[in-house]
Structure 1
Amino acid sequence: MAPKIAALYGALAGLLFFALTLGVFQARTRARVMIGDGGDRTLLRASRAHANCAEYVPITLLLLALAEMTGAPALLLHAVGIALLVGRAIHAFGIRQEPEPVIFRMIGMGLTLVALTGAILGAAFGAFS
């Protein structure tokens, strides 16, 4: 069975990643820095929002796809996908602000960890059922 739910959230996460990539390009152009952050806080924040997305999204999507392929309930899969997308978007919004409203980062990471945990449990239960 093809993991269509995981593919949906993968595509949506890809759009978020693309938007964050454009944000890094824009910050690099504005700062005139092509490698590193050059000490520019805006570029550093844009780069970290982008990198943080790259750190959490792939493993969560992989686990989501495995959970789906092993028969996890659609409701769990959608809950994981939505928590992942909303969490990553809120985190990226918060981390890019100067000064940073830490609440967005906390909520974003919380939702991301809920998504990761749900995907882990879905894949694990699927593996043993």
Structure 2
Amino acid sequence: MEQFPQIALVVTAIFVLMSIPMAIAVGVRRTKTGISLLHGEDENLLRLMRAHGNFIEYVPLALLALAGAEIAGTPSWLVAACGGVLLFARLVHYFSLSTSVNGKGRAVGAALTTLAMLVLALAILWQLWIYS
């Protein structure tokens, strides 16, 4: 059997499951307000849209880095740790942004996402360098 990036696949599945309620929350808010495009003047809708949008902007690249690091041979513990940090970071960021524009969780989530992505990128480059 081929070796698949199992950690990245599990984390990907979790992120996909996380994105569904986010999209539903936007749809429910749109139904309640009757706003079918953009956000009108509804601040709650805007926050939900940006929380979901930010998730969709960052998560795909983070998952590519996670899978790339795992495929490149990064130790499983480091891949799993980065996956856990990403999951935690995106949850904190989403809940903070979806409830308040100035939440501290937003900054914490963004910083942890950036840190995990940096570690994964460096891990990929390290693996490529040591095996070249």
CA contact (8 A) 1:64 1:80 kept: yes
Give the alignment's TM-score, normalised by structure 1. Answer: 0.93
Residue 86 of structure 2: SS of its match in structure 1? helix
Determine if the alignment matches structure 1 residue 91 to structure 2 residue 93: yes
- 1:43 matched residue in structure 2: 45
Distance in 2, Cα, partners of 1:126 & 1:64: 13
The structure 1 segments of at least 4 consecutive aligned residues displaced by more than 6 Å after TM superposition are: none
Give the alignment's TM-score, normalised by structure 2. Answer: 0.91
Gaps of 5+ in 2: none
Aligned-residue CA RMSD in angstroms?
1.2
Residue correspondences, number: 128
- 1:125 matched residue in structure 2: 126
Determine if the alignment matches structure 1 residue 61 to structure 2 residue 55: no
- 2:32 matched residue in structure 1: 30
* 1:39 positional shift: 1.6
Distance in 1, Cα, partners of 2:21 & 2:128: 34
Counting aligned pairs with the same residue, the percent is: 34
CA contact (8 A) 1:87 1:109 kept: yes
Look at both structures and tell me which one has the larger radius of gyration over its CA atoms: 2
